Amino acid sequence: MPTLVLLPGMDGTGDLFAPFLEALGDQFKTQVVRYPTDQELGYDELLALTRRFLPIDEPYIVLGESFSGHIAISLAAEAPPLLRGLILCCTFVRNPRPALEPLKSLLPFVPLHWSPSAALGWALLGSFGSIALRAAIAGAVRRVAPKVLRARLRSVASVDVSAMLATVKVPCLYLRASRDRMVPASASVHIQDVLPLVSVVQINAPHCLLQAEPAQAARVVSSFVSEVQGAL
């Protein structure tokens, strides 16, 4: 079976994949990519870092969660010979909230680590998730330097990999959360417009889909991996 390479959301720690990895069990190998928590790296630098985690002698599938969709798409557009599939989870190919673009200049002044846990939970989980999961998400965000989070938000504000996505040839799955308060449904609609063959699966979940509904997400991802394996 192909190895599943997981690219994390905005926190970049990779720790929040734990519920999803537990739900996957030992069906196939996984590789979690972790971004530095103290370095202001842009998408190009994170892409170069991610390449170092990719298997060099076995097939693999890349899953890009939220912030990392850009990196996953960029990798797929390079058409590496061992890449067998692409999974996008609650992510986007261009700024999902263009109306906020004029506020980008205010990012240096946003006290990200002062945001109440309740507000963070509302945005990422809504009415889903346990107290433990909410604490884990808040803890992961706190481990990342504020300057790093601001740099990643700036990257999101100016991102657009639509042209790259259009060149992707491997099978592609998009996991859409029906209760996503961060990335609107229009983001996945645009992805379908650019790459009509993408398979979209909607799950009743918040933005943190893999964390809030890990069992359902694992079933969908496992099915996709099996289909890709069967097509080899």
- In tens, the pLDDT along 24-57 reads 999 889 999 999 999 999 899 999 999 999 999 9
Q: What is the DSSP string of the chain?
A: --EEEEE--TT--SGGGHHHHHHHTTSS-EEE----SSS---HHHHHHHHHTTS-SSS-EEEEEEGGGHHHHHHHHHT--TTEEEEEEES--SB-S-GGGGGGGGGGGG--GGGS-HHHHHHHHTTT-S-HHHHHHHHHHHHTS-HHHHHHHHHHHHH-B-HHHHTT--S-EEEEEETT-SSS-HHHHHHHHHH-TT-EEEEES--S-HHHHSHHHHHHHHHHHHHHHHHH-
Q: Is the pLDDT of residue 106 over 60?
A: no
| Residue whose structure tokens are 């999803």 | 20
Q: Where are the domains of the chain?
A: 3-231
**CA dist., res. 6 & res. 214, Å (int):** 14
Query: What pLDDT score does 110 carry?
Result: 44
In 3D, which of 40, 87, 42 has the Cα closest to residue 63? Answer: 87
In 3D, which of 31, 26, 70, 30 has the Cα closest to residue 47? Answer: 70
Query: What pLDDT score does 109 carry?
Result: 38
pTM over 0.85: yes
Bridge partners (DSSP) of residue 60 are: 3, 83
In which band, very low, low, confident or very high, does the pLDDT at 96 lie, cut at 50, 70 and 90? confident
In which band, very low, low, confident or very high, does the pLDDT at 119 lie, cut at 50, 70 and 90? low
CATH H-level, domain 3-231: superfamily: Alpha/Beta hydrolase fold, catalytic domain (3.40.50.1820)
**CA dist., res. 13 & res. 142, Å (int):** 11
